[in-house]
Chains A and B, each alone.
Chain A
Amino acid sequence: GQSLEQPSEVTAVEGAIVQINCTYQTSGFYGLSWYQQHDGGAPTFLSYNALDGLEETGRFSSFLSRSDSYGYLLLQELQMKDSASYFCADPLRRRDDKIIFGKGTRLHILP
């Protein structure tokens, strides 16, 4: 079956760097998306990796390694407003395959 696994919770300190990992088992994998969701809010798109390597967008970066079936989201210079849940997703529907999201990682930031 298809699945994306990520830790349920991660804690980090304000100003630090944190990495949220995502491992996947999907057939015909195309790429990995990342979404952020604040409490009571809707998921918002952060990044997408179609190719192996690092994609950087400001304080956030995302990495993909197809050979390891693994990706991560890297958040730098953490701010309190980064406290949220982060989801990895296999977002592109292939024939007869589902669009799936991981269960999400809750990021707690300590002052």
Chain B
Amino acid sequence: DAGVIQSPRHEVTEMGQEVTLRCKPISGHNSLFWYRQTMMRGLELLIYFNNNVPIDDSGMPEDRFSAKMPNASFSTLKIQPSEPRDSAVYFCASSFGTSGRSSYEQYFGPGTRLTVT
């Protein structure tokens, strides 16, 4: 298996621009997570999908952030408009869980390093 795939690996954009991050989870996994990691705040869960349905989006910072999972093999995280404080590494992770709960073992993608100038 190729593991969790994220694109792009690096993104540099100007403040105010729209940014779209993409994720392909491991085939067969039914839970997908978007995390943001910074030195100051550590690893923060932004949103969690189970069977393509958003279960918990309370970590999404504000309305500028949105996430979709149109099918089991693809998810996007969009920031519009982007701001310098959004600069971080964004990870996507997937796992297999049952009964609406994620497995304790999550597989992380390589991350997207976002820089907003």
Interface on A for B, CB 8 Å cutoff?
Answer: 30-31, 33, 41-45, 48, 50, 87, 91-94, 98-104
B71, CB-defined interface residue at 8 Å: no
- Asked whether A87 and B43 contact (CB < 8 A) given A92-B104, A93-B55, the answer is yes
Whether A98 pairs with B104 at a CB distance below 8 angstroms is no
The listed residue (A43, A94, A102) touching B91 by CB distance below 8 A is A43
A14 to B105, CA, bound (A): 28
Nearest Cβ on chain B to A101's Cβ, whole angstroms: 4
The listed residue (B58, B101, B108) touching A42 by CB distance below 8 A is B108
A44 to B108, CA, bound (A): 7
The listed residue (B33, B101, B111) touching A92 by CB distance below 8 A is B101
Mark out the residues of chain B between 31 and 71 whose CB falls within 8 Å of any chain A CB in the assembled complex: 33, 42-43, 45, 48, 55-56, 58-59
Whether B42 pairs with A103 at a CB distance below 8 angstroms is yes
- Asked whether A48 and B59 contact (CB < 8 A) given A43-B43, A101-B43, the answer is no
Tally the A-B contacts, defined by beta carbons under 8 Å: 54
For A48, the chain B residues whose CB sits under 8 A away are: 104-105
Nearest Cβ on chain B to A100's Cβ, whole angstroms: 7
Whether A93 pairs with B109 at a CB distance below 8 angstroms is no
Interface on B for A, CB 8 Å cutoff?
Answer: 33, 42-43, 45, 48, 55-56, 58-59, 91, 93, 101-111
A94 to B56, CA, bound (A): 11
Q: List 24 A-B contacts (CB under 8 A).
A: A31-B104, A41-B110, A42-B91, A42-B110, A42-B111, A43-B91, A43-B106, A44-B108, A45-B105, A45-B106, A50-B104, A87-B43, A91-B102, A91-B103, A92-B104, A93-B48, A94-B101, A98-B45, A98-B56, A98-B59, A99-B45, A99-B102, A100-B45, A104-B43
For B102, the chain A residues whose CB sits under 8 A away are: 91-93, 99
Closest to B55 in A: A93
A103 to B101, CA, bound (A): 23
Closest 8 CB pairs of A and B: A42-B108, A103-B42, A101-B43, A91-B104, A48-B104, A45-B105, A43-B108, A33-B104
For A31, the chain B residues whose CB sits under 8 A away are: 104
